[in-house]
Structure 1
C-alpha cells in the first residue's frame, strides 16, 4: 500500500514539473523571440477571438500573425492555455483551432492577390 502512495506522489511530481517546464519553455520562447511586441493589440484580439471563441481574422491581422511566426504563435497559444481562466476549455480543440487559424492565414497571405 505504501508503494502505491509513493507512486502517486511521483506521478504528481512528474506532472507538476512537466507543467512548470512547459510554462518556462513557452515563456523563454516568447521572451527570446520578442513575441509579445510583434502584433498590434487589435490583431492580437482578433486572433485570440478566432482561436478561443468564435470569430474571424482579417487579412491585415493574418499578415501580422504570419509575420509573428509559427513558433511565437504556438508558444503564445500554449501559454494562454496554462491560464486558469481557460481551465474549462479543451486544449486539443484550442490547439486545433490555432493550427486552423495559422493555416488559413498562411494560405491567405501566400495566395496571389486578384489583379485590378
Structure 2
C-alpha cells in the first residue's frame, strides 16, 4: 500500500497540472523539494501515508528542511480527493514523525 502512495506522490510531483500554482506557495514548494534527497522524501511519504520506516539520517534531513516545508509537502499530498477522508490521520502521523525527528536530531 505504501508503494501506491509513493508512486502517486511521484506522479503528482512530476505532472504540472498538479503543481502548486500560487506564486509564493509554488516557490516554497520548489524550494522544499530541493532540500532533501528524493529517497528521504519518499521515505517520509511512505511513513506518513503508509507503514514505511525512516532512518535517522533522513530525520536529520527533514529537520534541516524545516517544519514549514514538511507541512507543505504533507498537506499538499493529503489534500488529494482520494486521501481527504483520512487527512486527520495523516496529519497526526506527520506530527509524530516531526517530533521523533526533532528528538533524534538533537541526539546526533
Q: Give the TM-score normalised by structure 2.
A: 0.71
Which structure's CA Rg is the greater one? 1
In 2, Cα distance between the equivalents of 1:63 and 1:85?
A: 30
Question: Aligned partners of 1:94 and 1:110: how far apart in 2?
Answer: 24
Q: Does 1:75 align with 2:97?
A: no
After superposition, give the CA deviation of every residue in 1:19-68 in whole Å (9 maximum; x if it has no partner).
Answer: xxxx767x734523711111111101111111000021101110110111
Gaps of 5+ in 1: 1-22
Pairs aligned (count): 88
TM-score between both structures, scaled by the size of structure 1: 0.66
* CA RMSD of superposed structures (Å): 2.1
Aligned match of 1:51? 48
Distance 2:102 2:57 in 1: 12
Q: Which runs of 5+ in 2 are unaligned?
A: 1-19
